[in-house]
């Protein structure tokens, strides 16, 4: 019995390490969300700089294209998640 309890405790400790986020790293979803927010923020900053004459039009077009791509990707992922959720709701119990 003690061997089984020891193995369970060891497996639990390993699973807990994997599930916990390391300080400063975060999981993949958190990193993706942060990258998305940074991309949109850079686009907004570049647009504001272009309006005041601080950024060239080429940089503005690049930043807006990157923001547009990020937003389209986020919307597509959201749509797929909603679609999967609706599919789960349709499953017979």
- Residue 81 domain flag: yes
- Residue 61 domain flag: yes
- Residue 5 domain flag: no
The number of distinct structural domains making up the chain is: 1
- Residue 68 domain flag: yes
Question: DSSP secondary-structure letter at 91?
Answer: S
Match 């300080």 to its residue by tokens. Answer: 23
What domain range includes position 66?
25-90
In order along its 93 residues, the chain shows pLDDT tens digits of 565 666 667 766 666 665 555 555 568 889 988 999 999 999 999 999 999 988 888 988 999 999 999 999 999 999 999 999 999 999 988
The pTM of the full predicted model, rounded to 2 decimals, is: 0.62
- Residue 63 domain flag: yes
Cα dihedral sign, 11-12-15-21:
negative
């Amino acid at each position: 019995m003690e061997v089984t309890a020891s193995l369970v405790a060891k497996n639990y400790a390993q699973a807990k390490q994997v599930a916990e986020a390391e300080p400063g790293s975060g999981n993949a979803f958190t990193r993706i969300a942060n990258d998305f927010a940074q991309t949109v923020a850079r686009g907004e900053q570049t647009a504001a700089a272009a309006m005041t004459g601080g950024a060239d039009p080429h940089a503005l077009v690049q930043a807006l294209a990157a923001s547009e791509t990020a937003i389209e990707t986020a919307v597509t992922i959201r749509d797929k998640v909603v679609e999967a959720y609706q599919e789960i709701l349709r499953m017979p119990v």
